[in-house]
Structures are given as structure tokens and as C-alpha cells.
């Protein structure tokens, strides 16, 4: 007798009341996409949990994939049997023999009240059966190596022995769609990860300024987007040509305000793409007080170009906290590659940290920026990135 299914617990989704079914259906859809390489699995779901029936597929690889699916609180290998005490005893013994440990306890729940044996009696019966039929196990009810969890439900009895923490959060796609401003630095991929954790589907927007930024910088952003697809599935990456706008601002706007003006135009273009692709918000990697453009005064002036919600998941984090998440999601090594992006070129020697809205609007009034913005949007290149995306595939799509 082997483990034949994986039990998935929902966590936060359990609080969604009448909307719960919508979240559960989206979670099932996301899991199906994640596990498309395992054609024999079958997914069943109910109000408070979901089961993946393995049907011979390798559970180790499937469980590794489940760790990156948002909406899962925890999951466990499980066995199911009929509500028959002899079958439950045999299943509990088989389950405990397949995991490592020296001590155990039994935690039984009789959810089906028609079952004749109560939880306490079930604990004693199953514990005695395991002790009689194993040589190396002893009971420890406080800190056991193995917690044999037995749930007697109407549709059958489920046995699990250990839980694996899931990614938590909400299923990607349940909170709408937002545009992520993806620069290539450490912060914005982390912001994208946290946005997806709250259920947002993201499309990424990157500003590219050749010849001042290189093809390597462009590839770096593609690689970062590819890392994020592990958590949210396919990501549409918009690469916006920004050279003309950036050079115009550099020539026409006083040095101290050129950075603020560039950021305003980036936000404006991102908002134009948001409208085009039916997004509801913009996500940035800004953290309050980190650089000149991220003081509260600067954020106020930059934000002035749009009424669209701008979400800043990192706003209260310090750099150490952000780096810790970047390591966890495996984007840090890519982010620190020394290729300049449009945020690191044309940087003024003394950027304003307390800019005045009236001044930047006045400086921009001498430039015809709107045609440049329209041209940039019209010439934006869009790539569909997934976990298998490669430069070779991108090349093939050109023909």
C-alpha cells in the first residue's frame, strides 16, 4: 500500500465566504497548468480542501512544483481507505512505515459522526496497532517525529503523516491584473512576486534605452521575468523603447528635475499600456526613502500623472528584507549583474529629493512629450515569457 494522493489545504481562502468557490476553481486551474507535465493526475476539490490523485505519477516532483503555487497553505502525502476499522489500521500502519522517525503520535478526527468509534478510542486503537507492528517506534504525544493524522469523513478515511508548508497567499488571477514596472534591479522582481502572492496577475513593463543600455541588460530582464513565471505562469513582457524620451528630457529639463520627469513619463507610458491590456493597477518596486526618486515628495510628484492605483509592496521594507526575499525567489544573482538599465543612465549629479510639482510641470511644458509617448507605445515589443522561454525561441518567432 503506497501514498496515492496529495491533500491540499487552502488557508486564507477559507475566509472568503460565498466567493470561496471562485478562488478554489482558480487554484485548481493554476495547479493544472503547473502540473501539465504529469498527464495522469486527477484533481478533485471540495469546500475546504483539494486532492491530487497521483495515478502512478511521481509525488516527489509534483510536491516540489506545488511549493510555488500561491493559494496553498500546506499539503501532505495522503492515503484513502473505506470507513472500516481494519482498513484504517492497515492504512495508518502503511503510512507510518513510509516516513522516517523514531517517535509518533496519532491525531484522529471523527468528522463523520455516523462512524461508531470516537476520536479518543481511535487514537488508542491505531496507536496500539502501530506499536505492535513496528520495532523502532515509541510514542511521544508532545513532540513526535511523525504525527499520524487520521480524518474519518463521509466519503472515506484519509491518513497523512507530515505537512509541507505551501506558498500561502491567494491564487494568481483572483485579484485582477496589474502592470509591473520591471527595471532589472533587485527590488522590482520582489515587488512582482509579492503582488502575485496577493492574487494579482501581472504583465511586466521594461524601459530600454539602446545604445546606452545593452542587449545583455535586455536579456537580464527577460531572465528575471522568466524566474517570476514559476509563481504566476506565463508573463507578458512589454519592452518600451525609451531612448528618444530620455534624451529629450536630459536636454530640456534642468538637471535636478530630469530624473523626476523621466519617472513621470515611465509611469505615464505604463498607464497607457495598462489601458491597452485591461489592467487595473500599476505595481512598482519603490521603497520609501531608498533613493532620490523614492522620497514621499518625489512619489507625490511622479504619481501626479495618473489616477490609477499604484501599488508599492516594498514601501515599508529595508534593503536587507528585500534582498532576503530576492534570494528566496532566486532573482538576486540575476539582479546584481552589472549591466546598466535606463534607471542608471543620465542620472543627475544632484537630483531633487523634495521636488515641486509646479516646477516639473513648467519644465515639461516646453517639450512636446505626447507624440514621443505615443511613438514609444506603438513601437513597444511584447514577448510572452514562460518557464521554457529561450532566446532561441524568441529568434524563431521573428520568422
Distance, in Å, from the CA atom of 217 to the CA atom of 221, rounded to the nearest integer, reads 7
Q: Is 181 annotated as a binding residue?
A: yes
Helices within 237-390 (DSSP H only): 243-252, 255-276, 296-303, 319-328, 332-335, 357-364, 369-378
Retrieve residue 133's grid coordinates.
Answer: 507492528
Bond before 102 cis per omega within 30 degrees: no
Q: Is 182 annotated as a binding residue?
A: yes
The residues pairing with 178 across neighbouring beta strands, listed in sequence order, are 202, 281
Strands (E), the chain: 5-9, 42-45, 49-53, 74-81, 103-110, 138-139, 146-153, 156-160, 164-165, 177-181, 201-208, 235-241, 281-283, 310-311, 381-385
Q: Is 129 annotated as a binding residue?
A: no
Residue that has been written with the C-alpha cell 521573428 in this structure: 398
Retrieve residue 286's grid coordinates.
Answer: 519603490
Grouping H, G, I as helix, E, B as strand and the rest as coil, residue 111 is coil
Written as one string, the DSSP assignment of 150-164 is EEEETTEEEEE---E
Selection from 170, 230, 189, 171 nearest residue 313 by Cα: 189
Retrieve residue 306's grid coordinates.
Answer: 495618473
> Which residues sit in the known binding site?
181-182, 206-207, 263, 285, 294
> Which residues sit in the known binding site for ATP?
181-182, 206-207, 263, 285, 294
Amino acid at each position: 500500500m503506497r501514498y496515492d494522493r496529495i491533500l491540499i489545504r487552502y488557508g486564507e481562502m477559507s475566509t472568503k465566504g460565498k466567493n470561496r468557490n471562485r478562488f478554489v476553481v482558480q487554484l485548481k486551474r493554476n495547479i493544472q497548468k503547473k502540473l501539465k507535465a504529469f498527464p495522469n493526475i486527477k484533481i478533485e476539490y471540495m469546500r475546504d480542501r483539494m486532492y491530487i490523485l497521483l495515478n502512478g505519477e511521481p509525488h516527489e516532483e509534483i510536491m516540489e512544483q506545488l511549493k510555488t503555487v500561491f493559494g496553498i497553505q500546506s499539503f501532505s502525502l495522503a492515503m484513502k481507505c473505506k470507513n472500516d476499522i481494519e482498513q484504517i489500521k492497515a492504512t495508518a500502519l502503511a503510512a507510518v512505515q513510509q516516513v522516517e522517525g523514531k517517535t509518533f503520535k496519532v491525531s484522529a478526527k471523527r468528522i463523520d459522526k455516523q462512524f461508531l468509534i470516537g476520536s479518543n478510542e481511535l487514537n488508542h486503537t491505531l496507536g496500539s496497532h502501530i506499536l505492535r507492528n513496528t520495532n523502532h517506534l515509541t510514542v511521544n504525544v508532545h513532540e513526535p517525529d511523525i504525527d499520524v493524522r487520521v480524518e474519518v469523513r463521509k466519503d472515506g478515511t484519509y491518513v497523512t503523516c507530515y505537512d509541507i508548508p505551501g506558498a500561502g497567499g491567494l491564487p494568481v488571477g483572483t485579484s485582477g491584473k496589474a502592470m509591473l514596472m520591471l527595471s532589472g534591479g533587485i527590488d522590482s522582481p520582489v515587488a512582482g512576486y509579492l503582488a502575485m502572492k496577493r492574487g494579482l496577475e501581472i504583465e511586466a513593463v521594461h524601459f530600454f534605452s539602446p545604445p546606452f543600455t545593452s542587449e545583455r541588460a535586455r536579456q537580464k530582464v527577460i531572465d528575471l521575468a522568466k524566474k517570476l513565471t514559476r509563481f504566476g505562469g506565463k508573463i507578458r513582457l512589454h519592452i518600451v523603447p525609451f531612448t528618444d524620451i530620455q534624451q529629450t528630457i536630459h536636454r530640456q529639463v534642468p538637471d535636478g528635475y530630469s530624473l523626476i520627469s523621466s519617472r513621470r513619463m515611465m509611469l505615464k507610458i505604463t498607464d497607457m499600456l495598462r489601458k491597452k491590456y485591461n489592467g487595473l493597477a500599476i505595481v512598482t518596486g519603490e521603497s520609501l526613502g531608498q533613493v532620490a526618486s523614492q522620497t514621499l515628495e518625489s512619489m507625490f510628484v511622479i504619481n501626479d500623472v495618473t489616477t490609477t492605483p499604484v501599488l508599492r509592496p516594498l514601501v515599508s521594507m529595508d534593503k536587507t528584507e528585500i534582498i532576503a526575499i530576492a534570494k528566496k525567489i532566486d532573482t538576486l544573482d540575476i539582479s546584481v549583474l552589472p549591466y546598466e538599465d535606463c534607471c542608471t543612465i543620465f542620472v543627475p549629479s544632484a537630483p531633487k529629493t523634495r521636488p515641486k510639482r509646479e516646477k516639473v510641470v513648467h519644465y515639461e511644458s516646453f517639450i512636446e512629450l505626447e507624440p514621443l509617448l505615443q511613438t514609444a507605445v506603438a513601437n513597444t515589443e511584447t514577448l510572452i515569457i514562460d518557464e521554457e522561454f529561450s532566446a532561441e525561441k524568441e529568434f524563431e518567432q521573428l520568422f
